[in-house]
Structure 1
């Protein structure tokens, strides 16, 4: 196999150039083909991929960059996540019958069926509360899918997650006090993550949230900012 560009020299022209090269996404699509689909940003990539940072010329759109506050998840041990799900009311498969699936939501962990739950939204709230309290890894994702009547819990690697501000009852959890502490270098974003002020959300969980772009757009049912 004859491929070029597998290894590249890290550019140190500026701090922004270094960050841009370390978060670069290079597509294997042929640069000479004039097709707009692979060069465009998909709606599910909003907030995950930078819409501006792309080169000019034939590589336009084929070379993208992650957003500044997005990360790629790594594989996590799902034992703790499985125990947390069962402690939150997920019924194990050996204790249910096929008729129980009729009035319940199926619960999947990394695509594997682990049980059912009669109140899926209560399960999601409980699991997210554990994540914000630091009991679960910040990259664990919990999302409800109404059409499939399922709850998807993900702790596998390769998912892109973005950092969002948590909103409680129409009020942002990030206050001016937090911003002053951050400006005075008395804390970092990791401290906010441990306090449950911000959290990482992947694409599946974004579809289960109401995200406001600006502070003025926050409503009573808004979940993130």
Structure 2
């Protein structure tokens, strides 16, 4: 069963994040609210949905999708936000609701200006931090102190090396199975 397989691969079930601040954020990044949209003036725009509700339209959907993924990877917003750009349907779907089964994937650098384009974002410095974790004595620390002190898996997620995607985003993602 696919659900059992996903659950066995370090999955995360989303607990939900408030979505309304994202509407304001997307407005600041040139999204027109649905109430302000005139289909006669701009018939070739992309619809923007938040948790299944049509909230607005955008003229440059690729930029908006990359900005939203960027804030997720830079840990400026919750890592459990899902951003799906469906080019054929001319839709961007953003999900922040609870109950989505997400799985972790390593991130590939797609920045055309980067010298690391096409390679993992994971670097030697990340591996060194994980190795350093082994030398830290955590026997006297509470779980909260351990989370603050150790880099670990949460550090990889916060650094944008690993991101969680749900089934909806996985359908649109290009996933490499081998290095």
TM-score by length of 2: 0.79
1:192 corresponds in structure 2 to 156
Give the 3 Å change call, closer, same or farther, for CA 145–188 of structure 1 in structure 2. Answer: same
Matched, 1:171 2:119: yes
- Structure number with bigger Rg: 1
Matched, 1:144 2:85: yes
Gaps of 5+ in 1: 1-40, 51-64, 216-225
Gaps of 5+ in 2: 110-116, 134-149
Give the 3 Å change call, closer, same or farther, for CA 173–134 of structure 1 in structure 2. Answer: same
Q: Could you list the per-position Cα deviations for residues 34-55 of structure 1 after superposition, in whole angstroms to 9, with x for gaps in the alignment?
A: xxxxxxx3xxx4xx642xxxxx
How far did residue 173 of structure 1 move?
A: 0.5
TM-score by length of 1: 0.64
1:131 match: secondary structure: helix
How far did residue 101 of structure 1 move?
A: 5.7
CA RMSD after TM alignment: 1.8
2:79 match: secondary structure: coil
State which of 48, 52, 55 in structure 2 corresponds to 1:114. Answer: 55
Alignment of 1:66-145 (within 5 A): 66-100=7-41, 102-145=43-86
Greater RCO, 1 or 2 (C-alpha within 8 Å, sep 6+):
2
Give me the whole-angstrom Cα distance separating, in 1, the residues matched to 2:22 and 2:154.
21
Structure 1 runs, 4 residues or longer, greater than 4 Å off? none
Give me the whole-angstrom Cα distance separating, in 2, the residues matched to 1:182 and 1:74.
27
Give me the whole-angstrom Cα distance separating, in 1, the residues matched to 2:100 and 2:16.
10
Give me the whole-angstrom Cα distance separating, in 1, the residues matched to 2:157 and 2:21.
19
Give the 3 Å change call, closer, same or farther, for CA 113–134 of structure 1 in structure 2. Answer: same
Q: How many positions carry a matched residue from both structures?
A: 156
Q: Could you list the per-position Cα deviations for residues 96-140 of structure 1 after superposition, in whole angstroms to 9, with x for gaps in the alignment?
A: 212256201100000001100111111110111111122211000
